[in-house]
Structure 1
Amino acid sequence: MQILNIRSGPGFEEEVIGQAILGEILGVIGAAPGWLYVKTEEGRYGWVKTEYTQEMSGPVG
């Protein structure tokens, strides 16, 4: 199983506050250079490294 760390801020030095599993849909709320501010399916917010994500088109429901 592949895991993506969700961090408290946009940087590897920031605290890991959660994890997402490969294939989990994350809603993008904002961005910083190289990072995305996301909302998980459980309603948690945090930052993930852009290079470890894949953009999907269409509405997320």
Structure 2
Amino acid sequence: MSIANLSDESVLRLYSSIREQVTADRSHGGLHRLLGDTAKQRADVLREEIERRRLQADRIEWS
């Protein structure tokens, strides 16, 4: 299933989940480094879809 076929809520939920994981990792000193390039690429694709749909979501602050 492509991202284009997901509901607005699902796209926002996926993006929010990545943002929360980044925040959690940062709060632990970034030691876990659970999020690599794959997560960043997925977040970029989701961000593009969010912008295409003109939805609102806080940007992910990558450290």
Structure having the higher helix fraction is: 2
After TM superposition, the score normalised by the length of structure 2 is: 0.23
After TM superposition, the score normalised by the length of structure 1 is: 0.24
Structure having the higher strand fraction is: 1
